[in-house]
Amino acid sequence: MRRQLLIGLDVGTTAARAVAITANGRVAAEASAPYPLLTPRPGWSEQNPRDWIEASRSVLRQVALDSDGEVAGLGLTGQMHGAVFLDAADQVIRPALLWNDQRTHNQCLAIEARLGRRLLEITGNPALTGFQAPKLLWLRDEEPEAYARVTSVLLPKDYVRLFLTGERLTDASDASGTLLLDLRRRTWSDEVLDALELPAGWFPAVLESPERAGRLDASTAADLRLPVDTPVAAGAGDNAAAAVGTAIVREGLVSSSIGTSGVVFAHTDRPRPDPSGRLHAFCHAVPGAYHLMGVTLAAGGSFRWWRDLLGEISDGLDYDRLAALAATVPPGAEGLLFLPYLSGERTPHLDPLARGAFFGLTTSHGLGHLTRALMEGVVLSLRECLDLMMESGVRVEEVVATGGGARHPLWRQLQADVYGLPVRRPVAEEGPAYGAALLAGIAAGVYRDVIEACGVVTMEASAVAPDPHKHHLYDELLGLYRSFYGSTRGAMQALGALGK
């Protein structure tokens, strides 16, 4: 009997990635295919949805070819918040607007003016430029001829689903990032749609992430070299899928991801929106569950900027060399702090005009000091988000480190010391596609539920323990760190205006 395989497909911002796993969680094959990011104007971020289709076809064919087994199910995940505008013939009307597109500031103000506090009460979030709802209003305001042709709107992964299955469906985790979902009812909000004058018929039915959401028809299956009628799971937004892939599926567990951005993700059994909107509150991929999420826009991105900047001087200063220099410097970098707001900031400040800065520079500070301060500043920014989560009642027992911040010992130790919590990492980290594959296993009947599926996820046996003395020092530094944004916000915004 051939072994069962499960495939997860991630429609990411820079590439599509597919991973095939066995029922016991072992990776059998993986493939990725890049596609371009379009920036027709400053602050605009778009992609051609057909590029997602071609890349998805390529990676699905590749993992089908490279893996030995019978594919039992397919799960989808991808970048959240994007808007794919379709006409009556399901043709794309214009390039999709992505999560990091910044053109909708005026539309966000209009949404807040129309709904006020009700927006946060219903959706769990304030109006932010990245979400889907303001993109719809922008199209209506700025491209009325295109808006007049719209008959449906899909999120990125769900447009790929339409190609794969012909079904127009989504899941609660991804839909909760549109600013149009009733967070508690886990369905589209008539009140929000009415206030924004958006037709309810434009939006797909909302399922829970492990539910079946279509099957591959004969022609698509033959094209992809996959079995006919392969069940396709509803799937999840990328962060929720990644949380499934690292078993963040019960209260007490939090993930801390340091990639280009930094994300702190906490599972909650009930909705816990932050009253001030400083954290994101979304549905989880676990049916009936939720999550809180804090985002630092330039986490590993700050480290990459620093490496690239120094690389103009010396090509020997790679990530490992810089981290080694930082490790020679004591905690606190001898009185130096860094704010990682190189791309503005998402949470907790919701300020696109926030700017990065080193504070406390003296002639005694060298390259190692600046590098350590930068790394500490990134983790302190995530600590701000973690503290807000705990203030809302989230219980935290342990942190699972993922992304680039899980690979180097100094990054892991910094997280343990700054958070004051043990930090563990998964044995194999395959990102959102891995979680999507586990969701596919539930839709296909391989696993009973998300908890059983996550039983195949393994963590390293030993955790990195916090150093009590260093944690006390970082608690003191955190007070100073928090004070700098408020005291320099006006100057940051003035400099931002001058830089335009």
List pLDDT tens digits, range 356-371: 999 999 999 999 999 9
Per-residue pLDDT at 405? 80
The pair of structure tokens assigned to 35 is 């596609």
Coarse DSSP helix, strand, coil percentages of the chain, rounded to the nearest 5 percent = 40, 25, 35
Q: How far is CA 460 from the centre of its chain?
A: 23
Q: Are residues 375 and 241 in the same domain?
A: no
Place of tokens 């539910």: 211
What pLDDT is attached to residue 363? 96
pLDDT band at 43 (very low <50, low <70, confident <90, very high): confident
36, 42 Cβ separation under 8 angstroms:
no
Tell me if 77 is assigned to some domain: yes
pLDDT grade for 1, boundaries at 50, 70 and 90: low
pLDDT digits (tens, 9 = 90+) for 247-256: 999 999 999 9
pLDDT digit string (tens) for 203-241? 999 999 999 999 998 999 999 999 999 999 999 999 999
- Side chain identity at residue 275, one-letter code: P
Question: Across the chain, which distance is largest between two alpha carbons, in Å?
Answer: 69
pLDDT value at 500 more than 80: no
| CA dist., res. 396 & res. 241, Å (int) | 20
Look at residues 157, 150, 192, 199 and name the one whose alpha carbon lies nearest to residue 174: 157
**pLDDT surpassing 80 at residue 2:** no
The answer to whether residues 304 and 376 belong to one domain is yes
- Are 230 and 323 in a shared domain? no
Question: For residue 66, is pLDDT > 90?
Answer: yes
3-state SS assignment for residue 18: strand
Domain boundary among 207, 223, 246: 246
Read off the pLDDT band of 160 (50, 70, 90): very high
pLDDT category of residue 141 using cuts at 50, 70 and 90: very high
Residue 234 sits in the same domain as residue 307 = no
CA 482 from centroid of its chain's CA atoms: 24
DSSP 1: -
The CA distance from 21 to 66, in Å, is 12
Are 307 and 233 in the same domain? Answer: no
CA–CA dist 483, 401 (Å, integer): 27
CATH of the domain at 345: 3.30.420.40
pLDDT of amino acid 344? 81
Rounded to whole angstroms, the Cα distance separating 71 from 114 reads 48
Give the pLDDT confidence score for residue 144 in this predicted structure. Answer: 98
DSSP H or E stretch at residue 216? none
SS (H, E, C) 108-124: HHHHHHHHCHHHHHHHC
In this structure, is residue 462 part of a structural domain? no
CA-CA-CA-CA torsion sign (316, 319, 325, 328): negative
Locate 227 and state its tokens: 């079995």
pLDDT tens by residue, 173-197? 999 999 999 999 999 999 999 999 9
Residue 201 placed within a domain: yes
**Number of domains the chain is built from:** 2
The answer to whether 438 and 451 have CB atoms below 8 angstroms apart is no
Confidence (pLDDT) at 430: 81
Is residue 273, in this structure, part of any structural domain at all? no
For 406, the domain range is: 296-425+467-498
318 and 206 in one domain? Answer: no
Among all chains, which residue has been given the structure tokens 């013939």?
89
State yes or no: pLDDT of 77 exceeds 60. Answer: yes
Helix (H) or strand (E) holding 477, with range, is helix 468-498
Query: From its phi and psi, is residue 288 left (phi > 0), alpha (psi between -120 and 50) or beta?
Result: left
Are residues 84 and 205 part of one domain?
yes
Question: Which amino acid, residue 262?
Answer: G
Computed over every residue of the chain, the mean pLDDT equals 93
Domain boundary among 218, 246, 274: 246
Q: Are 223 and 132 in a shared domain?
A: yes
pLDDT average, residue stretch 395-423: 92
Give the pLDDT band (50/70/90) at residue 85.
very high
For residue 271, cis peptide bond before it (omega within 30 degrees of 0): no
Three-state SS for 462? coil
In a domain, 436, yes or no: no
In this structure, the answer to whether residues 334 and 399 fall within a common structural domain is yes
153 pLDDT band, cuts 50/70/90, is very high
Arithmetic mean of pLDDT, 148-168: 97
Set 238, 269, 274, 315: catalytic member: 238
- Residues 477, 479: Cα–Cα separation, whole Å: 5
Residue with token string 């980290």: 429
Residue 346 has pLDDT above 90, yes or no: no
**Out of 58-67, 157-166, 288-297, 339-348, least confident range:** 339-348
**Euclidean distance between CA atoms 326 and 329, whole angstroms:** 6
Domain-embedded: residue 199: yes
pLDDT tens figures, 456-492: 998 888 899 999 999 999 999 999 999 999 899 989 8
The answer to whether residue 417 is catalytic is no
CB count within 10 Å of CB 169 equals 21
Residues 6+ apart with CB under 8 A from 201: 151, 152
Per DSSP, the residues of 296-310 read ETTSHHHHHHHHHHH
pLDDT tens sequence across 254-279: 999 988 889 999 999 999 988 888 89
Residue 167: how many CA atoms within 13 Å on its side-chain side? 20
Cα–Cα distance measured from residue 118 to residue 85, given in angstroms and rounded to the nearest whole number: 27
Last residue of a domain, one of 212, 246, 280: 246
* Number of Cβ atoms within 10 Å of the Cβ of 191: 14
Is 401 in contact with 427 (CB distance < 8 Å)?
no
For residues 188 and 97, membership in a common domain is answered with yes
pLDDT higher than threshold 80 for residue 429: no
38, 137: one domain? yes
CA distance 493 to 485: 11
For residues 145 and 226, membership in a common domain is answered with yes
Q: What is the mean pLDDT of residues 434-446?
A: 97
Q: Cα separation of 442 and 124, whole Å?
A: 28
Mean predicted confidence (pLDDT) in 418-439: 92
Position 161 in a domain: yes
DSSP summary character for residue 445: T
Q: Strands 152-154, 84-86: parallel, antiparallel or unpaired by DSSP?
A: antiparallel
Q: Please report whether residue 82 resides in a domain.
A: yes
Cα–Cα distance, 53 to 56 (Å, whole number): 5
> What pLDDT score does 392 carry?
87
